[in-house]
Structure 1
Amino acid sequence: MTFIKISIALMLLSCSASAQTFAEWFSQKKTQRKYLLAQIAALNTYSNYLRTGYQVAKGGLGSITAYVGDELKLHTVYYDRLKNVDPALKANPKVKEIMVRQIDINRQTSEWKTDYLVTVKAALLKDCNEQLDQLGAVLSGKTQMSDAERFEQLNVIHTAMLSNLQFARNFNTTLKKLDIQKLKEIIDINTLKGLYENH
């Protein structure tokens, strides 16, 4: 009798366990369908976000491309302007003064013909030529400079040529003094010779 009671209890327990497993299984299918539907809805939403994001990114990249293009045009205009020379610079009186100073330096150094003087003259004229080359570059627009930089460079060249001219003049004055001194010495020597010969 006890055995039968135990057997019945085990059967009921077994049926109960079997029914619970079936309920869980059925419930899981229902829950799984809910999850799948929720995932599909989430994927649709995500897809919409992606589409919107792509359009925004594409529009944004278009804006960036347009911005870069505009920026490049501005830089091109800026650098082209740096090559253009202000007519006021070419008409500046300092340009003519530089040229006149070069002519004067050539005149001042025309008599420098001994070895030492030729070396000094060559060094001086080399610097003058460099100044004139720089002037040509500033006036022709070969160099990329702003108008302010061009005027500043003109002032530098103007000052350098004035310095070269002053050197040539001072050097000539010194040479003339030396020549006069030499002449004086020669006269003095000849005078002394004459005095000694007469005695």
Structure 2
Amino acid sequence: MKKFLIILLLCTSAAKAQIPIVGTVVKKVIKAIDLKIQRLQNETIWLQNAQKQIENTLSKLRLNEISNWTDKQQTLYSGYYKELWQIKAFISDYRRIKELAQKQTALVGQYQRAWSLFKGDKHFTVEELLHMQQVYSGILEASLKNLDELISIATAGRTQMSDAQRLELITKADDQLDENYNDLKQFNSQNQMLSLRRASDLNELQTLKNYYDLH
């Protein structure tokens, strides 16, 4: 019996030790997501500045009032318009991708809030908390992979894929992100309901509802 208790204590200690390890992995994922979002924001600003410069140049030239163009001038100014259109198309892509990145930031925020509540809830065992972290790690890893795909779409040359293809891939990434977000919400809800079912009386039940902001 004594030997069994020692083994049980060792297993419990090992499980407790694994929680901060998994938590460290999740923190790395969160940091990686933040860095990628920052890069997207910086590249969006660069594109917007490039658009402004081209538009200012076109405004100064007052192309509509120029008459008797030579073939060379027409080619030159046509190039300006083409470049401007391409940059605007890029910015449109970046805005959608930036919105998706912000969604992923919200997903991480949902995880952080839920985890801080669950680990302070006495109704969960160490093993259950460890399982939660494993599930959360999987969701966040999928979120990070999704963001990697978005960045590859944003940085791919426009000659490598059509606008329709880019739009299709962005929409697909959006759908995947919504799926990840819904999985997270469902998992959080299941854990909250499990805790409520373990309440010993009505007073504790109400305390838990307040704790999880359930009304």
Which structure has the larger Rg?
Answer: 1
TM range (shorter): 0.3 to 0.5
TM-score by length of 2: 0.43
The higher-RCO structure (CA 8 Å, 6+ apart) is 2
Compare the two structures and name the one with the higher helix fraction: 1
TM-score by length of 1: 0.46
